[in-house]
Amino acid sequence: MVRGSEASIFITAGFQSGDSASTRAAMQQLVATLRDNYGITTLNVTDVANGRTLTIDSAAP
Name the pLDDT band for 39 (thresholds 50, 70, 90).
confident
Mean per-residue pLDDT, 16-20: 66
Q: What is the 3-state secondary structure (H, E, C) of the chain?
A: CCCCCCCCCCCCCCCCCCCHHHHHHHHHHHHHHHHHHHCCCEEEEEECCCCEEEEEECCCC
What's residue 30's pLDDT?
79
- What pTM, to 2 d.p., does this model score? 0.55
Mean per-residue pLDDT, 30-58: 78
Question: How far apart, in whole angstroms, are the C-alpha atoms of residue 2 and residue 27?
Answer: 22
| 16 or 55: which leads in pLDDT | 55
